[in-house]
A and B are shown apart, each in its own frame.
Chain A
């Protein structure tokens, strides 16, 4: 370990590891501090990603791909099933192997990694973040850095300590319960999504195949729903009804901030990325690829700021992120708010209308068009998505 670093990254999830990799690649010194004992574990995630998203950063490798996806099955409250075939495939990851791989890539670019290191505070001087305080094996320690990158997840506190407003409105927090279960007899290349107020109000339930008749099954509900009934209670009901004899290999809770990105994701000496910056796609709740994109931008800009000795250059990160994905997420968020207000009857009527479309014409685009007939006010927002 060094006495100080150019860049300290807090959190070794996909966003943190990508930030570390992209900074280290440019030759600056990088340290990742991870609070848990293991990178990649526990897995609080549905693990679905698009193939194109992955390929931007690394070559797909069977050792962290549990299954390939070429179909979506959307199940409305009355059980009507809409199946959509894709030309572009996606993957269900084996996150505990995948996250490990990303961290190793950062390490091979020169980043150092320390696990079981809990960051408990920031060092600040004259309103600028200049390092972190952390606890490691019972000892209080400090380390200085030119840039701190906070990739500390949904439970992020680093941004707040730097004076940014980072907490998530409880209505936008999707509280998730999930299991990895065996003896799940579903199509191995289809992602299943269930909608409706009895299954997952203001959210959805997923069944994502992971090969060998196992699946990642989980759901998210908003804090508004959670006031009345918890995520785990919805998941237990679903499992009892649909998969009563499925042994569970893991059972876990998680939170997904489904909102627009924070108003500010950089401040003097600090940048936020991944779930900590609320860089999740608010419509799908997917945050792996968007976190990797956010992290890669943050890491690159941090290194450039260090190399050019222009500390305030890190403030260009907000714009770079918003240009790449942030503004798209604003539109996704409006669509989400429209869809979350759909009643069960509306979901059913969309499914029924769509099932009248001939099979070879059932695409995500035509599903959207069907949904729009039921909710014309969404049209403007959707048009903006497709117009980029």
Chain B
């Protein structure tokens, strides 16, 4: 169950989250980001490393897994 969500409109596509993800569960393109649900373990390292407060941990299931600008 995925409990991390990508808040809309905040992502700057910098790649900090991808760099710290131990599971290779985040895909980043020029202006697109996506959490790969099957790989994510909700470890939250991406949340702690995001400079712009884009990623958020919720105590319930989330559905916002992507953002495209």
Contacts and interface: CB of A to CB of B under 8 A. Distances in A.
A249 to B, nearest CB: 15
Given A155-B15, A175-B16, A253-B14, A227 B48 contact: yes
A177 B45 CA distance: 18
Instruction: Report the interface size class on chain A.
Output: 20 to 34
Contact of A177 (B18, B28, B30, B52): B52
A211 interface: no
Given A175-B51, A232-B51, A253-B51, A168 B29 contact: no
A223 B19 contact: no
Nearest to B31: A36
B50 interface: yes
Nearest to A275: B19
Contact of B12 (A154, A227, A253): A253
A156 interface: yes
B20 A223 contact: yes
Contacts of A44: 14
A44 B21 CA distance: 20
B49 A175 contact: yes
B15 to A, nearest CB: 3
Nearest to B44: A227
A160 interface: yes
Interface in B1-21: 12, 14-16, 18-21
B22 A167 contact: yes
Contacts of B52: 177, 230-232, 253
B68 interface: no
Nearest to B28: A155
A311 interface: no
Interface string A153-191: 111110010000001111001011100000000000000
Contacts of B30: 35-37, 116, 118
Contact of B19 (A156, A230, A231): A156
B51 A230 contact: yes
Instruction: Report the interface size class on chain B.
Output: 20 to 34
A268 interface: no
A226 B14 contact: no
A224 B45 CA distance: 10
Interface string A202-223: 0000000000000000000001
A66 to B, nearest CB: 22
B29 A226 contact: no
Contacts of B28: 155
A252 interface: yes
B2 to A, nearest CB: 19
A173 B20 contact: yes
A223 B12 contact: no
A44 B16 CA distance: 11
B50 A175 contact: yes
A36 B35 CA distance: 20
Give the residue among A155, A231, A252 with the most B Cβ atoms within 10 A: A155
Nearest to B16: A255
Nearest to A230: B53
Interface of B: 12, 14-16, 18-22, 24, 28-30, 45, 48-53
Given A170-B49, A173-B16, A253-B51, 10 more contacts: A154-B18, A157-B18, A168-B20, A226-B50, A230-B50, A230-B51, A230-B52, A230-B53, A253-B14, A255-B19
9 contacts: A116-B30, A155-B18, A157-B18, A169-B20, A173-B20, A223-B45, A231-B52, A254-B51, A255-B16
